Structures are given as structure tokens and as C-alpha cells.
Structure 1
Amino acid sequence: MTPLEFRETVPALESDAYLNWGAGGPSPRRVVDAANASLEHHEYSAPTDEGMYPAAFEVYDEARAAVASLLGATVEEIALTDSTTDGINRVAGAIDWGEDDIVVRTDLEHSAGILPWQRLEREHGLDVRVLETEGGRLDLEAVKSAVDGATLVCVSSLTWTHGTRLPVEKVVDVARDAGALVLVDAVQAPGQVPVDVREWGADVVVGAGHKWLCGPFGSGFLYVRDGVVDERDLVPPAIGYRSVVDENAVEYRYETGARRFEIATASPAPYAGLTAAVSCLEDVGVETVADRIRALTDRLKSGLSEERLLSPRSFESGLVTIAVDDPEATVERLAAQGIVVRSLPRPEAIRASVHAFNSRGDVDALLEALRG
């Protein structure tokens, strides 16, 4: 399947120029059909067939396998969550925090990578160190200074503010030397660029299917490196039958790896959709998607002046930040012309997210509208 053939299967792309994939990716019919079919089977057939719980568990298993393949992980290292924010909170709640603990994050994090640490700072008195950046760039020397004595480092793989790629592997090396746990917010990466968690070396990677993967809302996932649960004594703040080895045992025992972060009953529909979304990506080809995003992004940037382009001129991702006088008014004006982008709280700008499933016409329409 080519990217443009994929585009033909996404009803939301039939009219408007949708350039907001970094916020949410509209699903193709195949994904929605898979989610609907899963729900119908679960509610109509499974009760008197294999049973509702076995039917759901089979979908969970398939989704974990799909995510593991996508990230270069093992199935045992994957847990299913609701979202990126949900995944970060599950990990944040699994550490026994105290006043002597230190969390290091960048000033480029999404609220998902800010609010959980603010809450812990307020409730447990831990120290949250914020690495200041410029133009979406992270100074490794500043990282080395900040991680001294740190418990955890939270960093995004692709910044939602500038579309820059942060040097995750180097941050991991620095943090590991300091004895810190590394959590990577990777939600902007899967479905846009190839991801290999082994290359990153991070302890925890969080993501979700509802952006570049074009999966449903509610299809989050969490990678927990094999062995890190025991190394860091990670005990989830919540417990349920999916997080323990035997729910009927006299003394409960958590699952040994990532599965301890799953809790209880969840609809199988989002995860059936996630599995279908990963399959769609594989049908198009991860490298094909990445190459086309690069080409379309370069086309967009070539039409923007140095004053307007706040993202790097050279390609790093399909997230392109553009300076405008009134971001919110500009978003509304573009929407009236059938062009969907979003405004950013920082920097004061709009952001266009270019996917492989966009057309040259979408990019040209945005450029023309910005000139008007």
C-alpha cells in the first residue's frame, strides 16, 4: 500500500488539509472496523462462546505483540495503558519518593512529562530540576550537571514544541553513569520514524497509538526494560488481577515485568484498533513513511522564511513550528479555509504536523494561506 492509497481509506482526509497529526491522527476505516469488530465480538458472541474475559485477553496479547514488534522489544517488556500521560503516572507512582530524590526534566516536555513531577514535588518534597533549552536543543553539559544525584530523568525523543530530535542515547549514557532511571516520552515517534528501544537503552518508554500511528484514543503503551523492575524495586500504586501472577493466591505476587503495570478490565476495542494501526503502518512501510514525511516537510520548510521557521531548517521530524502574530486567530483563520493545524503555548506560534498521508497540495495550501 502506498501512502496515498492509505490516505484514500481515511474519511477525515476527504476534504480538509489535515496537518495536526502530532495532536491526534484520524484513523483509516480498517482501524475503526477492527475496533468495532472486536467490540461486537466481545459483546455479541464471546459471552456464549469462549467467554468475555478470554476474548479480551486475546486482543490484549495481540496488541502487546504488535507494539513489541514496533519498538524492537519483547512482549514481556510491554504493558498496555490508556495514554502517554497514564503510562508516565503509573511509573511515577511506582517509586518510593522522598525529599532526597531528584527528578530532571527539560523545559520542552509536554504536560504529561511535567504535571506528575509537580505533584510529587508538592506532596513528597522531591527536587525537580528543569533543564532550560534554546531552539529545541538540549545541552549535554547541562544534563551532566543536572543528573548528579538524580533518581529519574524524563526526556522526550521528539519535542512537541520544535520537532527537534533530542539525543536520547547520549542522555541515557549520562544518566546511567549517574545512577538515574531514564523515562522517555516517545509519543511523537512511533508511526513517524523508526523506533528501536534497544538503541536508546532507556529504562522506560511511553507512547500511544492515537497520534502518528492513526490508532484510537485509549490505545496507550508502556515499555519497561527487562530487569529494571527488580533493579529499581518498582511497585505500582494500583493493583488488580492483571498485575499479579495469581489473583486468587493467599499472598499476591506482582508480575515480574511490565505486566505489573496493567491493572484490571479494559475495553478490547482500542487495542484491537492499535493492532490494526500497526499492521497498516507495516503495510505501507516504516521507512517509506519516514522518507515521505521528510520530503513533504522539506517542501513546507522551503516555503518559510528564516523569521517564520522556528523548527530546524534541516529535517528532524514532521513537526514544524511557525511564528505568527496571533496563533489562535491564525488557527481559526486556517480552519475556515479547510486547513487544520494547532497553536502552541510556547513558543508563541502555530505547529503543522506533516504525515506521509498528506499530499503536496496540503502543504502548498498551508503555504499559500500563510502568505495571504
Structure 2
Amino acid sequence: MDPHVLREDIPALDDVVYLNTGASGPSPRRVVEAAEDALEHHAFDSPGAEGPYPYAFELFEETRETVADFLGTDASHVALTQSTADGVNRVASAVDWEPGDVVVNTDLEHPAGTLPWRRLADVHDLELRTVPTEDGRVDRDAYADAVADARLVCFSAITWTHGTHLPVEDLVAEAHDAGAEVLVDAVQSPGQRPMPVESWGADFVAAAGHKWLLGPWGAGFLYVDPDAVESLEPVQLGYMGAEEAEDESYAFAEGAKRLEIGTTSPAPYAGLQEAIATVERVGLDTIQSRVERLTDRLKDGLGDRLVSPAAYESGLVTFEADDPEGLVERLKEEHGVVVRDLPTGNVRASLHVFNTAEDVDVLLDALDEC
């Protein structure tokens, strides 16, 4: 699929220059229609046909297969979640924690990758360690010291604050050598960069479809390495995660599915399937090459204001601003440009394959006026 064809299928782009996919991607009509069709069939047709549960269960299984193919793994290694934070929490609540266990983060993490551990620290008396970074890069000496006796390490594949692509395989291997498990927050990856979960080697990878995949809210997914799954004993358990639930006995479901809980709408997952199919029709090579050209153009125009690396790493471009919140508001109200401010005190633009050189120029011209 040509990027221009995709752009024409995204109604949100009719009125604004949308440069905020890193927060939430604007969905194409075909994705929304797939979700609507699933919701209507589930609500209107299935009760008198195959039944709401058989229809939903088949769609869930199809979604696991679709996600697994996209990630290059087996469907038994995939659990369906509602979001990245949901996936992180499902892992966090399934680990058999001991008082004093160490959890390691970096100072670049989104709240989805920090709040679960902060809460668990209060509940289980865990020790939290934060690895310092500079310019979106992990201090490797500090990282080695922090993971030396850690139980679990959690970091992002692509940083939401700088758009830097961290050396996932190396960080995972170093943590494993120290005896720690690793959870990767990969929500900024699917749809803009390859996401080879098995070669990454992480025990857990959490992501969602509402950013670069341009899918609907409510459809997340979690990869669980088969060697790690048996150690997980989820505190939250429903019929989706149980293999047997008769009398007073139960058994966890095989594979990652044990982390799924109960009844949820099939609509977001139907949308996720279509979102993945759409991205695959465009092609990751096409996406990366186009995003690289667009980010290069923006970075050149930003000059000394640029915070992100000058070389291409992702579609996230962060830059300095004297009044980030005010600038974001003025860009939208006066110029129809949608970006976002960050808690770091900077502003971030996100460029995807549907964006154009004209979009970049509109932003640069607006920044000159603001």
C-alpha cells in the first residue's frame, strides 16, 4: 500500500497536521470499520448464530495468531491485554516476590513502566533502583552495577523522551548474565521498527496497537518467553487464564494465556488485526525509510533546538522550548499542528509514514512564528 493511500484513509488528517503518533495514532477507516463490524456481529448476529462466546473466542485466537506472526513467535507465547501498562501489571502481579527483591528501571521510563513497581515496592517491600541516562543513553557502568543482584529489569526499547533506540539484546543479555529477568516496554516499536522478540531474548515484552500500528485503544499484547511462563502464578485469575476450574481445584492455562483474565470486547482485537495487516501492506522497510527522511528534514530545520539524536533512530523527535505547554497549545490553536509536551520540559513531534514533507515544513514555519 502506498503511504498516500493510507493517508487518504485517515479522517483525522483532514483538519490538522498530526504529529503525535507517539502518544496515539490516528486510525484508518478500515481499522475502525473492522472493529465496528466485529462489535455489530457480536451484539446483533452471534446471539442467534454461533453464540457470543464462540465468536469472541475464535476472534481472540485469530488475534493471538496474527500478533504472533507479526512478532515472529508462536501464538502460545502471546497474551492479549488492554494496554502496555496492563501487560506490565499482569507480569508484576504474577511474580512470586520476596521482601528485598530488586527491580531496576532507567530514568527514561514512561509511568506505565514505573508505577507498577512503585506500588509493588510498597506491597512487597521491594528495592527499586533507577539507572541514570544522558541524552537518551543508558549509563552502562551504572546499569551493570544496578542489575548485579536484581530480580527483574524493566526498560523501554525506544525511549519516549528522546526517541533513542536502546541496545535491547545487549541489555537483556547483561541482565540475564546477572541472574535477572527482563521486561521490555516496546510500545513505541510495533508499526515503525522491527520487533524481534525472540532474538531480543527478553522474558517479557509488553506493547499495544494504538500508537504506530494505528489501531484502536484497548488492544494490547504481551509476549512471554516459554522458559519464563511456568514461574508465573497470576494473583488475578479468571476463566480465560484457567485450564481447569471445577469444584475447588483449578490449573493455570498453558503458555502466556494464563495471564488473560475474563470477558472483554472483541472489537478492539478485530481492529488490531486490521491495523497489523495495514502496516504489513505498507511494509516496515517503506515506513522506516520514509520516517528517516522526514525526521532528517525536521532535525535539520530545528538546528540547536534539537534534543533527540541527529541521526535517525525512530520517528520521535524531541526539541527544546521555553514554554512547552504554551507552545503546544499555540501550535494547535493557531497553526493546526498537533504535537505534545513532555515532563522533561521539552516538546515532542512524532512522524509516521502517513506524514509528508509539507507537514514538517508547516511545523517548522509555525515554530518560527511562535
TM-score range, shorter chain: over 0.9
Taking the aligned partners of 2:247 and 2:318, their CA distance within structure 1 comes to 53
AA paired with 2:319? I
**Structure 2 residue 303 is the aligned partner of structure 1 residue 334:** no
Deviation, 1:358, is 0.5
Deviation, 1:227, is 2.1
Higher mean C-alpha displacement, 32-41 vs 115-124: 115-124
Percent of aligned positions with the same letter in both sequences?
Answer: 55
Instruction: Indicate the structure with greater helix content.
Output: 2
Taking the aligned partners of 1:141 and 1:256, their CA distance within structure 2 comes to 38
Taking the aligned partners of 1:154 and 1:117, their CA distance within structure 2 comes to 9
**Equivalent position of 1:297 in the other structure:** 295
**Structure 2 residue 300 is the aligned partner of structure 1 residue 279:** no
Partner deviation per Cα, 1:66-121 (whole Å, 9 max, x = no partner): 11111111100000001000110010011122222000000000000111111111
**Equivalent position of 1:360 in the other structure:** 357
Please, what TM-score do these two structures have when normalized by structure 2? Answer: 0.98
Higher mean C-alpha displacement, 318-327 vs 233-242: 233-242
Taking the aligned partners of 1:73 and 1:22, their CA distance within structure 2 comes to 25
AA paired with 1:44? F
SS at match of 2:278: helix
Deviation, 1:249, is 6.3
Partner deviation per Cα, 1:326-347 (whole Å, 9 max, x = no partner): 000000000011000000001x
Partner deviation per Cα, 1:127-164 (whole Å, 9 max, x = no partner): 00000111100122221111111000001000000000
AA paired with 1:272? A
Maintained 8 Å contact 1:155/1:183: yes
**Structure 2 residue 3 is the aligned partner of structure 1 residue 25:** no
Following superposition, which runs of at least 4 residues in structure 1 exceed 4 angstroms of deviation? none
Spell out the pairing of 1:186-197 with structure 2 (5 A cutoff). Answer: 186-197=186-197
Distance 1:249 1:289, change over 3 A: farther
AA paired with 1:247? A
**Equivalent position of 1:115 in the other structure:** 115
Deviation, 1:256, is 2.2
Higher mean C-alpha displacement, 212-221 vs 297-306: 297-306
Structure 2: gaps (5+ residues) = none
Please, what TM-score do these two structures have when normalized by structure 1? Answer: 0.97
Taking the aligned partners of 2:71 and 2:300, their CA distance within structure 1 comes to 32
**Equivalent position of 2:34 in the other structure:** 34
**Equivalent position of 2:149 in the other structure:** 149
Partner deviation per Cα, 1:276-309 (whole Å, 9 max, x = no partner): 0000011111111111111111111111112x10
SS at match of 1:172: helix
AA paired with 2:95? I
Partner deviation per Cα, 1:23-72 (whole Å, 9 max, x = no partner): 00011000000000000000111001111001001111111111111111
Taking the aligned partners of 1:357 and 1:248, their CA distance within structure 2 comes to 51
Spell out the pairing of 1:90-239 with structure 2 (5 A cutoff). Answer: 90-230=90-230, 233-239=231-237
Taking the aligned partners of 1:176 and 1:154, their CA distance within structure 2 comes to 12
Higher mean C-alpha displacement, 76-85 vs 193-202: 193-202
**Equivalent position of 2:51 in the other structure:** 51
SS at match of 2:161: coil
Higher mean C-alpha displacement, 6-15 vs 92-101: 92-101
Taking the aligned partners of 2:82 and 2:19, their CA distance within structure 1 comes to 24
SS at match of 2:330: helix
Partner deviation per Cα, 1:207-257 (whole Å, 9 max, x = no partner): 000001000000111000112122xx2111211111011334652110121
The alignment covers a number of residue pairs equal to 368
**Equivalent position of 2:244 in the other structure:** 246
Taking the aligned partners of 2:280 and 2:130, their CA distance within structure 1 comes to 37
SS at match of 1:370: helix
